[in-house]
Amino acid sequence: MSIFEDMRNKQEELLRTERLPHVWCPGCGIGIVLNAFLRAVIRRKIDPEKLVVVSGIGCTGRTAGYVNVDSFHTTHGRAIPFATGIKFARPDLNVVVFSGDGDLFAIGGNHFVNAARRNHDLLIIAVNNFTYGMTGGQHGPTTPTGAYTTTTPYGNPDRPFNIPHLAISLGVPFVARWTTYHVNQLQNSIYKALGMKGFRLVEIISQCPTVYGRRNSMKSPLSMMEYFQKNSIIKPNASFEEMELTYNGKIVVGEFRVRTNIPTYEERFDDVIRRAQNEN
């Protein structure tokens, strides 16, 4: 069996296949991200018993229900602190948060910034589809200015987060952004991130043809994919301005920050325990 066939078979084992087909719409990018994630896990030879996937609420939040490992579908915005509790209690586990842009950066934004600052040993897979998919396509914290959503019928007056830059400002050791078009680069970045420690963020610009694309002249799954294909620019040392996403504009992708050896919260707490026990 070739390594690709072997990987594809192992991928099936990592899926709760009895629950497929999944709930996501035709052409929804979340499945592509999950596909890449599972391949990276297999390549890293991570013991499935030591892998935990935590999701919040949303279309992306449904991911936890499809991975055949210990998996938690928590409350809206709270995947990161839930995962923090697991990781802090059991530092030997690989804990991955797999959630949507609204979940992680709007309602869960405070958890994101603080967990990033503390440098918990967590991998964050952030699926950015520019909208709240699950609730029908309202505007969210990543909707580009000018975009049409059900709550910005005259175009979005709001300004989106520059997610990679936000993470970099918090000292996050691994920050990457790809689109679902970049299936290989995406898989490689997740693979790389799985081999590192600390708070690691992979943002994936993903298509929600059903409720976002439809209102922004990209009705079919393929038309969104074509937008990603035609407008992506790989630029690892991009500036703040270049990383910003604009309405139907360029998408700067790449691995923006890779730092090893920044102590994690869990490691620093080991020191706390050592000090507490020596003083006694």
Partner 1 sequence: MTQKKYERKAVVKILEDRCKGCWYCVNYCPTKVLVISDKMNAKGYHPPEFREDKEHVCIACHLCELYCPDFAIFVEELK
Partner 2 sequence: MKKGYLKEGNYFWSGDIAAAEGAIAAGCRFYAGYPITPSSEIAERMALRLPQLGGKFIEMEDEIGSIAAIIGASWTGERAMTATSGPGVSLMNENLGLAVMTEAPIVVVNAMRGAPSTGLPTLIGQGDLMQAHYGSQGSYELVTLYPSTIQETFDLMLHAFNFAEKYRVPVMYLIDGLLAHMYESIYVPPIEEIEKKIVHRKRPKEGQLPYEPDEDLVPPMPLIGEGRNIHATGLTHDERGYPDLTPQAQEKLVRRLNEKILKHERDIWIVEEYMTEDAETIVVSFGGEARAVKAGVDLARKEGIKAGMLRLITIWPFPWEYIKKYTADFVVAELNYGQMYHKVKEYAETPVHKLTKMGGEIHTPQEVLKKLREVSQ
H or E element: which one contains 231? helix 221-231
Q: Using the rule CB under 8 A, give the single segment among 110-118, 206-214, 220-228, 243-251 that binds partner 2.
A: 110-118
The three-class DSSP label of residue 54 is strand
Residue from 133, 141, 160, 173 in contact with ligand SF4 (CB under 6 A): 133
Which of ligand TPP, ligand SF4, Mg ion, none does 209 bind, CB closer than 5 to 8 A by kind? ligand SF4
C-alpha 62/C-alpha 66 separation (Å) is 7
Which of partner 1, Mg ion, partner 2, none does 187 bind, CB closer than 5 to 8 A by kind? partner 1
* Minimum separation from the CB atom of position 192 to Mg ion (A): 24
Which of ligand SF4, ligand TPP, Mg ion, none does 57 bind, CB closer than 5 to 8 A by kind? ligand TPP
Residue from 40, 41, 147, 208 in contact with ligand SF4 (CB under 6 A): 208
Contact 70, 112 (CB under 8 A): no
Residues in the chain: 280
C-alpha 248/C-alpha 147 separation (Å) is 8
C-alpha 251/C-alpha 105 separation (Å) is 19
Binding mask 62-91 for partner 2 (x = CB under 8 A): --xx--xxxxxxxx-xx-xxxxxxx-xxx-
User: CA dihedral in degrees (59, 135, 122, 263; nearest 10)?
Assistant: 150
Q: With binding defined as CB under 8 A, does residue 21 bind partner 2?
A: no
The three-class DSSP label of residue 38 is helix
Which of ligand TPP, partner 2, ligand SF4, none does 261 bind, CB closer than 5 to 8 A by kind? none
- Scanning 142-182, the segments in alpha helix (DSSP H) are 163-169
Q: With binding defined as CB under 6 A, does residue 24 bind ligand SF4?
A: yes
Whole-number Cα distances in Å, 36 to 41, 97, 179: 9, 15, 12
Task: Write out the two tokens for 258.
Answer: 């890779």
Which of ligand SF4, partner 1, partner 2, none does 196 bind, CB closer than 5 to 8 A by kind? none
**Can you name the residues that pair with 127 across neighbouring β-strands?**
100, 204
Rank residues 58 and 173 by Cβ distance to ligand TPP and give the closer one.
58
φ, ψ at 121 (rounded to 5°): -80, 75
Residue from 34, 126, 134, 252 in contact with ligand TPP (CB under 6 A): 134
Q: Using the rule CB under 8 A, give the single segment among 9-17, 242-250, 253-261, 270-278 that binds partner 1.
A: 9-17
Interior angle at CA 62, CA 33 and CA 134, nearest 5: 95
Contact 125, 190 (CB under 8 A): yes
25-44 residues in contact with ligand SF4 (CB under 6 A) are 25, 28, 30
Residue from 19, 47, 90, 184 in contact with partner 1 (CB under 8 A): 184
Contact 172, 200 (CB under 8 A): yes
Residues that bind partner 2 (CB under 8 A): 16, 19, 48-50, 52, 54, 57, 64-65, 68-75, 77-78, 80-86, 88-90, 92-93, 110-111, 113-114, 265, 269, 272-273, 275-277, 280
Site residues for ligand SF4 per CB under 6 A? 24-25, 28, 30, 59, 129, 133-134, 208-211
